[in-house]
Amino acid sequence: MIRLLFVRHGQTEFNVKKRVQGWCDSPLTQEGIKQAESLIDVLKEVDICAAYSSTSERCRDTLDIILNDRDIKKYDRKGLKEIHFGLAEGERIEKVFPNGTANLSGYQDIQGESKQQALKRFEDEIHSIVSLYDEANILIVTHGSILKEFFSHIDLGFKQAAIEVNGSVNRLISNCSLSIVEYNQGNYCLVSYGKTYY
């Protein structure tokens, strides 16, 4: 069995400013750095075989902090990036999504990705990662909205929870929260999600 340890990146400047942040990037805040540091002790006794990160700087920086100079191979993967929000990138969240995001099918109408496109890209990347291992703990630092789509796809209970909070990522998967998915013979099982240690 493979255990995937998913972590959302630490708080960023755009998170604080409530700006849409998909493929655009902004640095971690001091709070985001502290959030990442909170996972050092949590994961230090876990035998992590490899660590993967989205190519976004906020994820790479979060991963570097968590690993804290541990001798673990690190890989960047474009497929782990956030959903591309198109023309909404960098805009204020309440301006772009005044009614939340739960009922949106995607952002293709504003030159971004549909949720299906983003989910396929992400799932293909996860599949390519798990195909490399038999039994392992794998750390993956990625993004909130794409994790919400992936977890909703593999777990009906999570999907219902996402609907109940009108698609609010922060109410399900906070910055630097830890979520665990077990993978066995082609099947994913969401064991826990959104656990924070700060």
CB contact at 8 A, 194 and 173: yes
Measured in degrees and rounded to the nearest 5, phi and psi for residue 38 equal -65, -20
Q: Is the pLDDT of residue 189 over 70?
A: yes
Q: Which residue has the tokens 């805009």?
A: 91
**What type of residue is 97?**
F
Which strand ranges, in their side-by-side order, compose the sheet holding 2-8?
73-77, 48-54, 136-142, 2-8, 178-184, 187-195
Residue 153 is a catalytic residue: no
Over residues 165-171, mean pLDDT: 80
Over residues 58-74, mean pLDDT: 97
Question: Which of 31, 57, 82, 153 is an active site residue?
Answer: 82
Q: Which residue has the tokens 């794998």?
A: 138
Over residues 52-75, mean pLDDT: 98
**pLDDT category, 100, cuts 50, 70, 90?**
low
Q: What percent of the chain has pLDDT over 70?
A: 96
Of 4 and 92, the structure prediction assigns the larger pLDDT to 4
| Listed residue (27, 43, 37, 41) closest to 65, CA to CA | 37
User: What are the extents of the domains in the chain?
Assistant: 2-195
Q: Which helix (H) or strand (E) holds 52?
A: strand 48-54
The CATH classification number of 2-195 equals 3.40.50.1240
CB contact at 8 A, 190 and 181: yes
**pLDDT category, 191, cuts 50, 70, 90?**
very high
Residue 127 is a catalytic residue: no
pLDDT at residue 144 in the model = 96
Question: Which of 9, 84, 113, 149 is an active site residue?
Answer: 9
Q: Is the pLDDT of residue 49 over 80?
A: yes
Tokens representing 100 are: 């939340």
How far does CA 107 lie from the centroid of its chain? Answer: 18
Strand partners, 141: 7, 53
The distance in angstroms from the start CA to the end CA of the chain is: 29
pTM of the model: 0.95
> Per-residue pLDDT tens for 70-97?
999 999 999 999 999 999 999 998 888 7
Q: Is the pLDDT of residue 55 over 90?
A: yes
pLDDT at residue 74 in the model = 98
| Listed residue (56, 62, 93, 58) closest to 76, CA to CA | 56
Helix 30-43 to helix 57-67 angle (10° resolution) is 40
**What type of residue is 198?**
Y
How far does CA 87 lie from the centroid of its chain? Answer: 21
